[in-house]
Amino acid sequence: MSTENLMLFAIIIPIVAAVITLVVVRKNSMAAGGVTIAASFVNLFLAYRIYGTETSVSVPWAGWFFEFTLRNYQFSSFILISVAIFGALLSVYNAIFLKEKANGWLFHAYFLLTIGFVNGVVFADNLILLLFFWEGLLGIMFGMIYLGGANAYRTSIKAAIIAGVTDLCMMFGIGTAIYLAKTATISDMKVSMEGLGGLAFVLLVIGAISKAGAMPFHTWIPDAASDAPMPFMSFFPGALEKLLGIYLLVRITLDIFELDGMSWGSTMLMIIGALTIVLAVAMALIQKDYKRLLSYHAISQVGYMILGIGTCTPVGIVGGLFHMINNTLYKCCLFLTGGSMERQAGTTDLKKIGGLKSQMPLTFIIFIIAAASISGVPPFNGFFSKEMVYDGALERGTIFYLAAVLGSVMTAASFLKLGHAAYVDKRGDVSKVKEAPAAMLVPGMILAALCLFFGLGNVFPLREFIQPVLGARLEGHDFSGFHFNIVLVGGTVVALALAVINHFVGVKKTGNGLGAVDHVHYAPGLHQVYDAAEKRYFDPYNWAKNVGRVVAYIGWGIDRGIDFFFSKIIPFAAMGISAVIRSLHNGSHVTYLAWSLAGLALVIIACMTGRL
């Protein structure tokens, strides 16, 4: 079968499987899980077959710029196969996790729809087609979060509004970019950053980084961690959204705009990246719920990717992309351990339970590997990608480097705390907790093994997947292997050491792992800031909501004013005039005579002045 057909099948098969789940299987979560596993593995097989080929195909669509143009090249097949691997692993995990849930079949259907749409995004070589699949994910995401329970709908609305607003920005950006480039085919597009092009750039970047979950479009993610079903977290914020968001960001900066290191666009991206790293991880530090803590890291890690890509240096971009795939591996893995804890222990609130080490030893080992990876401990994968991002950031400005290192200190500190609190501390009754079933452990083990492999064997992912994406922009460099910059490694060692010292100080003060960062949390000054942040005073969504409320009342007031004019002033004026005229028609002959005479006088005057 030709690759063109395989590409079409990769979009159609998951969607058809989803429709079958929705229409035929219905209400049977077990069977839906079976369909999902089958379709996910078919998708994995297709992705494997497509991998490494380069081709494009155009299917007739609506005409005008709406062309159903798909293109497969190195970068898209890399993202495609990553999504397919995560999809296959998670489908197995979810089948077990959801088998007793009443709404599990719906989740499986949404999961399959998501895979189909994501494949569409990855293949789309037409910006409008890309937007079609991209924005189409919004409705699915809404449905997935909604399944989380009675209160999840608030979060699903919040997520839908944030995603909807940023998608609309992207729609305008795409319209502008097509207008400037006179083509909608991404591979032919070249737009300058001047004038309108700058607007298009900003709007497209908003769409991309919002999907990736960067600040200030992140605030639904921690809420989703509390409300949404666990498999959603590992799939959407944990894996897919990073892959998609960063994929698009790289397409924008490398293909559409050819971002230059000297441009304001590059600086803008680096500032967003640095702020996202520091602020999100600062929030992660103080969380006392397993899922919520992870969700803040899901935001913070995006900062490294955006910072790396924003540097516009080869090492930074390669680092950003490598960090994207590494983060997906360990973050997905971490969310899976959280899901196992939720299912086996019944809660993820660390204040209620702890010391699962002896009950769930395998989960603990998986956690350690993933936590070491995210903290940047050598020789795990996170270490290598972070070093590259540091390298790029240091080249562009020390402040960006320092922000990134500060982020690493706090990341390491928060995972020391999390591991200590969840697995070592003695808290709550854990005697009845059992290790997660094999089908839920195996995906985590595979991901953990990949974390180690992508670290020690970084030559493979870098040479095979990532460096070819840059093409000529790589300028002949090869970043794979182990070549260390002594300054950067020194910085990392110091950062990790600081985290460990901080942990010991905290544990000594409070006597348990959960309180390891309480001395930071309740430090004078910081305490008030943290309280305000936890009360969502800094949530841009809330700000926008309040501004929106004021604007809405102003608009409503204008509307009511206009209505007042029509319903009150006009009838009043009509009645008034009518009353005046009526009072003149009072039946008195004298009045009528006076009017007649006055009229006659007017006629005479008019005749005399010759006006008539």
Question: What residue ranges bind another protein (CB under 8 A)?
Answer: 60-64, 66, 128, 131-133, 135-136, 138-139, 146, 150, 153-154, 157, 160-161, 164-165, 167-169, 171-172, 175-176, 178-179, 196, 199, 548-549, 551-556, 558-560, 562-563, 566-567
Query: Alpha-carbon distance 314 to 322, whole Å?
Result: 12
Q: Which is nearer to another protein, 566 or 608 (CB)?
A: 566
When the beta carbons of 149 and 599 are compared against another protein, the nearer one is 149
Cβ(213)–Cβ(298) below 8 Å: yes
Identify which of residues 138 and 279 has a Cβ nearer to another protein in the complex: 138
Q: Give the separation between CA 397 and CA 262, rounded to whole angstroms.
A: 12
Report the SS3 class of residue 263: coil
Burial code (b: 16+ CB inside 10 Å, e: under 16) for 282-314 equals bbbbbbbbbbbbbbbbbbbbbbbbbbbbbbbbb
Burial status of residue 499 (CB atoms within 10 A of its CB: 0-12, 13-18, 19 or more):
buried
| Of 203 and 333, CB closest to another protein | 203
DSSP secondary structure code for residue 125 in this structure: -
For residue 492, give the H/E element and its range. helix 486-510
Amino acid letter, 586: N
Nearest distance, CB of residue 136 and another protein, angstroms: 4
Rounded least distance, CB 214 to another protein, Å: 20
Find the helix or strand (DSSP H, E) in which 181 lies: helix 152-181
Name the residue nearer to another protein (CB basis): 245 or 382: 245
Q: How far is the CB of 559 from another protein (least distance, A)?
A: 4
Residue whose CB is less far from another protein, 199 or 452: 199
* Least Cβ distance, residue 564 to another protein (angstroms): 9
User: Taking the complex as a whole, how short is the minimal distance between the CB of residue 138 and another protein, in angstroms?
Assistant: 6
Spatial distance between the Cα atoms of 465 and 325, rounded to a whole number of angstroms: 10
In whole angstroms, the minimum distance from the beta carbon of 221 to another protein comes to 18
Q: Is 498 exposed, middle or buried (CB count within 10 Å of its CB: 0-12, 13-18, 19+)?
A: middle
- Min dist CB 165 to another protein, Å, is 5
Minimum distance, C-beta of residue 552 to another protein, in the bound complex (Å): 4
Q: Which is nearer to another protein, 522 or 565 (CB)?
A: 565
Handedness of CA 552, 558, 561, 562 (dihedral sign): negative
Q: Which is nearer to another protein, 142 or 454 (CB)?
A: 142
Q: What is the three-state SS of 338-361?
A: HHHHHHHHCCCECCCCECCCCCCH
Minimum Å distance from CB 347 to another protein? 24
- Rg for the chain, CA atoms, rounded: 30
Nearer to another protein, 24 or 529 (CB): 24
CB closer to another protein out of 155 and 344: 155
The rounded distance, in Å, linking the Cα atoms of 464 and 448 is: 20
**What's the rounded Cα separation, in Å, for the pair 125 and 70?**
5
Q: How far is the CB of 157 from another protein (least distance, A)?
A: 5
Query: Can you point out the beta strands (E) in 143-247?
Result: none
